[in-house]
Structure formats: structure tokens, C-alpha cells
Structure 1
């Protein structure tokens, strides 16, 4: 989601993500009992990118290490009271969920610094990467894309490309995986960027939240929408439109919200799609949603299921449930 300082078709995509425990807002923390994001600090595995285009993303992509391959992940930050942690490195969804429940503890998020991106880009180029394609969450939601752009201009604008996915979560993650697959197959920087952009353009991100006020305070939705959800006790379904969070429809119950998530996802998927289910603190509802999607879309791989990153979770709050749909071309 926007930060307060706050952006495949391969068989690997069919894997189920291990349950992570964290989401964007101040800086990263290590996930509790979750599969750590691969190369979250952006340092290990430099040999994997020698002679090819390197792909970089940020921690809001929610990429489990089992899928990430050679992708470098630069963490955003989460502030828990007076403690600052790196998303996906120092904090997991479980700790974040507890912090959100403790309303005495202020939870905020922030983008990575341009220096963090510049260090990653220099590291990859020094390791032999021919170029870097850096794909990030929507610039409408975060300053992450802008920080990456500033770093690219400083390091080498001719060899570092920065892409606004206009998505988040596995909407961003699927675009990153497509870029990494193209890079591994020897594509040039323009084609790697195009692979990410093509997937991002087909992506639908649809979700519901229990705590609209967090999105309002973070500037992600307007005051009127937040008041509507609180006063009328409705559960708005939200989606991303041109990279912005927009109201889709209103429902009265969690059961109805899940049903409408299924119906919207099935309508968006077409004959076959890559799918992901994200949640914060509601694993049973997430598994139910994944089961229903698998039943309704038998030609598609089973959805990747994971808890959202600490940065995203800080904005959507406990009880958030969503689906990402990328129809296959």
C-alpha cells in the first residue's frame, strides 16, 4: 500500500507459498516462522546473475523464497512504536498482527532509501549482470518506485530500468517472476521489462478489509469511504484501478465478501489464470477462498496462499483477505 514515507507461467508459480507472517510502512522485520523472502537483503547469490539481466523488486511483492529464484528483494521498513524493522527480514505477519491488535502501539511504514537501491544495483552490475530491471509496487501507493528511479539515475540510467507494476502483493510478484523468467532465457533489458509490463497489465487485485481507517490514515482511500464502512457496518470490496485503491462494491458479511471475491476472481480469470490468495491473520478464510477458487477454476494452478507483507498489512489491518488474478495470455 502507499507508504507513509512509502511500489508466469512456469511450474514454480503453481507451488503453495509457505505461510509467512508479515507486510509496508517503516522498514523490514523477519517473518515469524515463515519462509524468508529470498535474498531479502539484496546481497547473496550474485553469481546467479552473471552475464544476464538481473531482476530486482521490493518486499511488497510477497515472493516466497521457493519461487523467487535469482530475484533480489529490497525491503521496505516498518516502525513499531520506537522500533524500526525491515519488512520480511526482521518481522513476520504474526508479530505485525499482534502489534496491530495492540492499539497502543503506533505502526507506520516507509519506503527503502535510494541508497539501498543504489547499493543493490551496484552489487549486481559488479557481479557481472549485463543490466538491471527493477519492478515495484504502484507509485500511486508508495514512494518506492521513485526511490528506485533516483537510484537508477545515480548508478547508470543506461543499464538500470525501473518499472511501475501498478500492483502490489503477488500482482507485483507475478510480474517479477515473468521478468526473471525472461532474463533467465537470455532476453535483453527491453524484453525483460516488457515481460513484466505485460503480466502487470493483465493483473487484477481485489480485496476486503475489516479496518478501513488504516487505509484512510495512510492516504490510501478517502475519508468518505472510510466513514461509510464504519458507520454503516459494511465490508467494502476494494480493487486496484490504474494503480490506485478504489471501491468495487459493498457487502454486509465476511461470508458474502468471500463469495464475491470468488465471483470476481472467476470472472477475471477466463479459461486459465495464475492466482494468489493473501491474508493477514485469517488463514482459515484464506484456505477456504483458495479451495473455492481451485474448484471453480480447475484448469488453473492452485492459488499461491500467503500472509501479506508487514508493510501492506500495516495499512490493511488484521482480517484482510484478497485475491490476485493474472489471466494467461
Structure 2
């Protein structure tokens, strides 16, 4: 365990940080909830993404915030582990009440310094904010400096994703500004990102799945340009084979990434996006 009075990082489960990176950087996690008619599960703790996709035929569950007692218990555990300063990376307040729920609870904790950062993002684009904070802590920076640098890094993180169908975003009420393209069926596949308010917006429109994948690849290259210092992630929702195709196409960028992550998105994210998601997370840092 790290020394007393050092800084802990906490990320909610929709930061979507792979387990090996959570372990490597000692990042604590807070699970959101997945609720079926007859049972509730903690995101990635009691239920896997695969189980959620398998059950879609019978029931599409609802999702909810981390339970208040879970938030309180998590801070108590962090305190017991010897930390009195915490940086929390929370998914966009424009997509979830998670950020607000953690903030409200943190206000009542007197003996810890807790800063909750609204990443205005989702999935690994939020996770990169947590990982960035962890890297600053490892570099030995003081708390205030870690906080200010991490807050500045929020706007350097981007998510780009395409979905198999928009119906899950619509059902979950998370469609944001993407709804403008619903009228134009014709197999239009939007590439979706989070805008400055942290809500979903269309950043490109293409026709068909193949073009959608190619557009994600092109936009990733465009975004990274000549940068040498960046984090990169390629993720999927029940679309593993296609994710591997994308990874192969982006092999040089994968190799060059300071932090690279890949894998299946969390169950909660899967509920809202449905099977067939392919996404890329990018954080561009100073070279």
C-alpha cells in the first residue's frame, strides 16, 4: 500500500478502465447498478458484459447510480487504507447523476480532502482522466497540482464510437443531440462523441457498417496527427472480431501509445448502447 497522506484515485465503473490498469495504478472503483425486474447487480462486480448481452432478448435492464452506502463505504475504505486526499473521476454530468451523487456525499466527509472531477465524457475517455491523475501522483506532484493538471486534461480526452443500432440509446433516453439523424434511415451510421456539455453529439455520418469502422480509424489518425505522447483505447460491445480488425489497422498507433487499453465496455454502458458498439478513446498530452 502507498504511504499515508498520499493521494488516492477513485473512478466510477463507467470510466471503463481495464482491471490490469486499475491494479497497476491502484485505482479504486465505484460500481453503477444494473437493475432487472427481479434483481440488481453491481456493474462489472456481480455481472459481466456478456451476461447483459445474452439477456437482451428477454429483458433490457435499467441502470442507476452507485448506491449512497456504497459511495460512503468506498470513501471509508480509502481512508482506512491510509489516504486522506482523493481525486474522483466521474462520468459526464450530462449523461448521469453519478458525479452529483458523489459530490453530495463527499461534502459530508470532514476528515478527507475530496475533489470530484466531472470528466464531461464517458467510458475510457473518462478513464483516461483517472489514469492521467494517477500518473501525476506517481510523478510525486502535490495534491493541488495534480488536481489542476487533471482538470486541464479533461478537454484533451475524446471518445468516438459507432453503434449497431440507435434503439438502445433512444430507449435509455441518452440520445442527446444525435436524434437529428433518426429521420434519415437509409442505413446512416453516426459517429458519436461527447460535446462540450458532455452530452452525445454526432461528429460524422456515414453509410453502412464498413464505412463506419473506416471513419473511426480515419478520425483516430486525424486526432492523433503527429503527436507522440497520447493514450489510446479500442473498445467494443459484443463486437470482438471487428475490434481486432480496427486494432490491426491502427497497429502503429497502438504500439506508440503511452497507455493502451482494449476490451469490452462495462455492462452499464452496454445497456445504453446495445450490441455492435465499436469505439476509440484518445487523450492527447503535451509532447
Q: TM-score, normalization: structure 1?
A: 0.79
**Displacement of 1:94 after TM fit?**
0.9
1:88 matches 2:44: yes
**Displacement of 1:186 after TM fit?**
3.2
1:284 matches 2:284: no
1:310 matches 2:264: no
- Cα–Cα, structure 1 residues 49 and 225, in superposed 2: closer, same or farther, change >3 Å? farther
1:177 matches 2:128: no
State the superposition RMSD in angstroms.
2.1
Q: For structure 2, list consecutive stretches of 5 or more residues without a partner in the other structure.
A: none
Bigger mean CA deviation after superposition, 210-219 or 240-249? 210-219
Q: For structure 1, list consecutive stretches of 5 or more residues without a partner in the other structure.
A: 1-46
**Displacement of 1:224 after TM fit?**
3.9
| Partner residue, 1:190 | 144
**Displacement of 1:174 after TM fit?**
1.3
**Displacement of 1:226 after TM fit?**
6.4
**Displacement of 1:158 after TM fit?**
6.4
The answer to whether the Cα contact below 8 Å between 1:274 and 1:326 also exists between their aligned partners in 2 is yes
1:106 matches 2:63: no
- Name the structure with the higher strand share: 2
SS in 2 for 1:155: coil
Bigger mean CA deviation after superposition, 133-142 or 188-197? 188-197
| Partner residue, 1:120 | 74
SS in 2 for 1:249: strand
1:255 matches 2:202: no
SS in 2 for 1:228: coil
* Matching residue within 246, 255, 260 for 2:201: 246
How do residues 1-329 of structure 1 correspond to structure 2 at under 5 angstroms? 47-48=1-2, 50-68=4-22, 69-100=25-56, 102=57, 104-156=58-110, 159-221=113-175, 224-225=179-180, 227-228=182-183, 231-242=185-196, 243-271=198-226, 272=228, 273-295=230-252, 299-300=256-257, 303-329=260-286
Cα distance in 1, alignment partners of residues 259 and 157 from structure 2: 17
- Cα–Cα, structure 1 residues 296 and 85, in superposed 2: closer, same or farther, change >3 Å? closer
The answer to whether the Cα contact below 8 Å between 1:209 and 1:321 also exists between their aligned partners in 2 is yes
SS in 2 for 1:130: strand
> What is the aligned length?
280
SS in 2 for 1:142: coil
The answer to whether the Cα contact below 8 Å between 1:290 and 1:302 also exists between their aligned partners in 2 is no
The answer to whether the Cα contact below 8 Å between 1:235 and 1:254 also exists between their aligned partners in 2 is yes
**Displacement of 1:132 after TM fit?**
1.1
Bigger mean CA deviation after superposition, 137-146 or 47-56? 47-56
SS in 2 for 1:90: coil
Q: TM-score, normalization: structure 2?
A: 0.90
